[in-house]
Amino acid sequence: MPYMKQASPGLQFNEQSIFERGAPGRTAASLPALDVPEISVDRALGVLARKAPAGLPEVSEPEVMRHFTRISQWNYSIDTNFYPLGSCTMKHNPRVNEWAARLPGFANLHPYAPARGIQGALELMARLRDALAEICGMDDVSLQPAAGAQGELTGLMMIRAHFAKLGKSPRKVLIPETAHGTNAASCTLNGLVAVPFKGSDNGACDPADVARLLEEHKGEVAAIMITNPNTLGLFERHLSEIAKMVHDAGALVYGDGANLNALMGRARPGDLGIDVMQFNLHKTFTTPHGGGGPGCGPVAFKSFLSPYQPAPVVVKRVGAGGETLFELDDTRPESVGRVRSFVGNFGMMVRAYTYLREMGPEGLKAATDLAVLNANYLAASLKDVLPLAYDQLCMHEAIFSDRDVKKATGVQTLDIAKRLIDYGFHPPTVYFPLVVAGAMMMEPTETETKQTIDGYVAAMKNILEEAKNDPEMVKKAPHDTRTGRLDEARAARKPVLRFHPKSAT
Ligand SMILES: Cc1ncc(COP(=O)(O)O)c(C=O)c1O
């Protein structure tokens, strides 16, 4: 039976920007007649009063509704279909999390409300903090950072503060070449220097390389930053040995915990020798991706780093009547300071806590097992037609290379990714990690069914057949979308990001 595509071309509206819609004087508001004396804006605001209207859209309510509904239909989302982006972990966002985050007692909190008025929220933060610490085997957690990358930045700030307290300022941070780009960026923002090194032939860090680098940069190494499982989807099997060597050299071990969704409930970074790490709540604890924010990237640490954590810190005290009281403690003289306004993105904390409570310890373990099972099932189903970059058991994601298909047909990773869109699937992560030529990084996550993965595998196999029979067609994909293939280089170099009224005429 021929393969049936999951998507077909359909009616989609071309949409002008909202500024090009409407007409002067049109409005979506209907206000009652003024029942107080009218005042002059010029007199009330003086020089601050506008000389000309702000140029806001003048549109009716149906126009607004249609505009935003139509452009929302252009989106591909995790709620539409399979979204196998490796490294980014597009996980289903359980609706119970959304329900909890919208409870008026949480959603309507004022950020300046005094601690005595937000006891429930502070207790939720304390409980989430304790649960995360237990899951990763660390002593304490700060929930303040707003993303994984900001968690990295904060963790490295704490490492710097630790050495400053000892009267030292080592500047170098060893980072394997497979690492996410944010690792090196976090170093640079901290005034530290990233020292990259290659992984071994089997994709993991080699203790011999680390030993050599520690010797070469003796006394100058502040830390190693290590991602486990790494961005090749492989377990860093020598992590404990490497951590011991790094500690013996007087340096610390930073763990990029972004991929904890492959370990949670099965192994604890703290037990493997990590001193400080970040979580990406959107990758492991099902909070939504915030398009770069507002997210939450808590940082977990061993107790010797506790004085340096961001302030304020939620503390639990016993009141005069023996009752439990939660407070926000700002008196932290050695703290690296505040890294995010107020207490961080509280809505994300509610969602992550809800997920933890819904899953329980057994559920979290099952999520990890299924994430790893699904990735290995996908790898095993495709590897005969698309080579794996490292042909071994993987953790939560599998990385394939376009080397064979490119050599045989000229069709490469980008073409396959674009053609997948015609089949109704979001492409995987492409050309990352950089150490794999023509990489396609696929991460199914734990909630995808066998049928969904089978459908995706069948689409991939079909595309590889098309590449043999009609490579030019694949190279011109996508064909069924609103717009055809875009000039991505031009879009990146000359982005048009603002609407200018003159260009509309
Ligand atoms: C391994 C790794 N480290 C760091 C990050 C950065 O996290 P965030 O996007 O939350 O800033 C990511 C993002 O997915 C990642 O995969």
Q: Poorest-confidence range of 78-82, 85-89, 275-279, 494-498?
A: 494-498
Confidence of residue 502 (pLDDT cuts 50, 70, 90): low
Ligand 1 pocket residue status of 298, Cβ below 6 Å: no
- Does the pLDDT value for residue 3 go beyond 80? no
- Does the pLDDT value for residue 2 go beyond 80? no
For residue 437, count other CB atoms closer than 10 A to its CB. Answer: 13
Question: Are residues 400 and 430 in contact, defined by beta-carbon separation less than 8 angstroms?
Answer: no
Mutate to test the pocket of ligand 1, among 90, 150, 182, 260 (most ligand atoms within 8 A of CB): 182
Query: Looking at residue 105, what is its pLDDT?
Result: 95
Mean pLDDT of 224-242: 97
pLDDT digits (tens, 9 = 90+) for 374-406: 999 999 999 999 999 999 999 999 999 999 999
Query: Looking at residue 4, what is its pLDDT?
Result: 78
299: helix, strand or coil: strand
Question: β-strand 221-227 against 252-256: which pairing, if any?
Answer: parallel
Query: Looking at residue 293, what is its pLDDT?
Result: 55
- Tokens read off for 196: 């990259």
Confidence of residue 324 (pLDDT cuts 50, 70, 90): very high
Mean pLDDT of 57-84: 94
In sequence order, what are the residues at sequence separation of 6 or more whose Cβ sits closer than 8 angstroms to the Cβ of residue 147? Answer: 280, 290, 292, 293, 295, 296, 297
CA–centroid distance, residue 54 to ligand 1 (Å): 39
- Does the pLDDT value for residue 354 go beyond 60? yes
CATH class of 96-356: alpha beta
Query: Looking at residue 134, what is its pLDDT?
Result: 98
- Does the pLDDT value for residue 505 go beyond 50? no
* Whole-number percent of the chain with pLDDT over 70: 98
Parts of the chain belonging to CATH 3.40.640.10: 96-356
More confident residue, 12 or 438: 438
Mean residue pLDDT of the chain comes to 95
Query: Looking at residue 54, what is its pLDDT?
Result: 87
Ligand 1 pocket residue status of 297, Cβ below 6 Å: yes
Question: β-strand 252-256 against 313-318: which pairing, if any?
Answer: unpaired
Query: Looking at residue 504, what is its pLDDT?
Result: 45
* Atom nearest to 297 CA in ligand 1: 10
Mean pLDDT of 410-422: 97
Q: Which residue is closest in CA terms to ligand 1's atom 10?
A: 148
- Does the pLDDT value for residue 272 go beyond 70? yes
Q: DSSP states of 300-351 as a string?
A: EE-GGGGGGS-S-EEEEEE-TTS-EEEEEE---TT----SSSTTS-HHHHHH
* Whole-number percent of the chain with pLDDT over 90: 89
Query: Looking at residue 299, what is its pLDDT?
Result: 98
Ligand 1 pocket residue status of 149, Cβ below 6 Å: yes
Q: Which residue is closest in CA terms to ligand 1's atom 13?
A: 88
- Does the pLDDT value for residue 488 go beyond 90? no
Mean pLDDT of 104-117: 95
Mutate to test the pocket of ligand 1, among 143, 261, 280 (most ligand atoms within 8 A of CB): 280
Mean pLDDT of 342-351: 95
CATH placement of domain 363-490: 3.90.1150.10
Query: Looking at residue 497, what is its pLDDT?
Result: 86
Parts of the chain belonging to CATH 3.90.1150.10: 363-490
pLDDT digits (tens, 9 = 90+) for 287-318: 998 654 579 999 999 999 999 999 999 999 99
Number of helical H runs and strand E runs in the chain:
16, 12
Mean pLDDT of 144-160: 97
Mean pLDDT of 254-267: 97
Mean pLDDT of 145-174: 97
Q: Poorest-confidence range of 16-20, 154-158, 248-252, 391-395?
A: 16-20
Ligand 1 pocket residue status of 88, Cβ below 6 Å: yes
Residue 131: HSE in the Cβ half-sphere, 13 Å Cα cutoff: 22
Mean pLDDT of 99-104: 96
CA–centroid distance, residue 261 to ligand 1 (Å): 12
Query: Looking at residue 1, what is its pLDDT?
Result: 61
Question: Are residues 264 and 365 in contact, defined by beta-carbon separation less than 8 angstroms?
Answer: yes
Q: Which residue is closest in CA terms to ligand 1's atom 14?
A: 88
Mean pLDDT of 275-290: 93
Best CA proximity match to 348, nearest among 298, 277, 314: 298
